[in-house]
Structure 1
């Protein structure tokens, strides 16, 4: 069965929201912390709302440009207050570089814990 027509109709906002969810899951799993469910949902909704007003060309750029996506992900992380959850624990891990085991792109989020809030 060919799913290509359905795939071509997938909303870029939904794709980016799902990618952000996967990154947040990985972030908290690798740090061995329980993800703060309500704050994660707020971050996902914050991202979706910020993307909904964008022109189609800008959304297309976001789907192909990892750096631009991470800028948006970081902004949603901050705007939702997610960066304040587990702040002391994560800051300690970042300072000691213990148990981070995260890909380099996660530095967009981890750097929030070494700069003043």
Structure 2
């Protein structure tokens, strides 16, 4: 039995992987890559994404003159998503494993009204 068989959860291996649509500025193309599934820290959740969209802000990563933040290469696209929580950090109280969620993953200043309310 291989690491990817037997169930609906993440692959049963030490270094489980997932697919990620990534942009590589070196060849200016999108690639469907296998990447390691991240492990959430105590204050984070892990979401199995079931739907994600690309929008104009994703395109900003394609142009280094317009990029809002320094980005890793290759860059995983699709920061607006929905999915099911698969892991919950020990400090997380408002979510549970199995919850359906929608989110906008982006960084902010964490000081202005938009970031704090």
Tell me the TM-score normalized by structure 1: 0.27
User: Whose strand proportion is higher, 1 or 2?
Assistant: 2
Q: Which has the larger radius of gyration?
A: 2
Q: What TM-score, normalized by structure 2, do the two folds share? A: 0.27
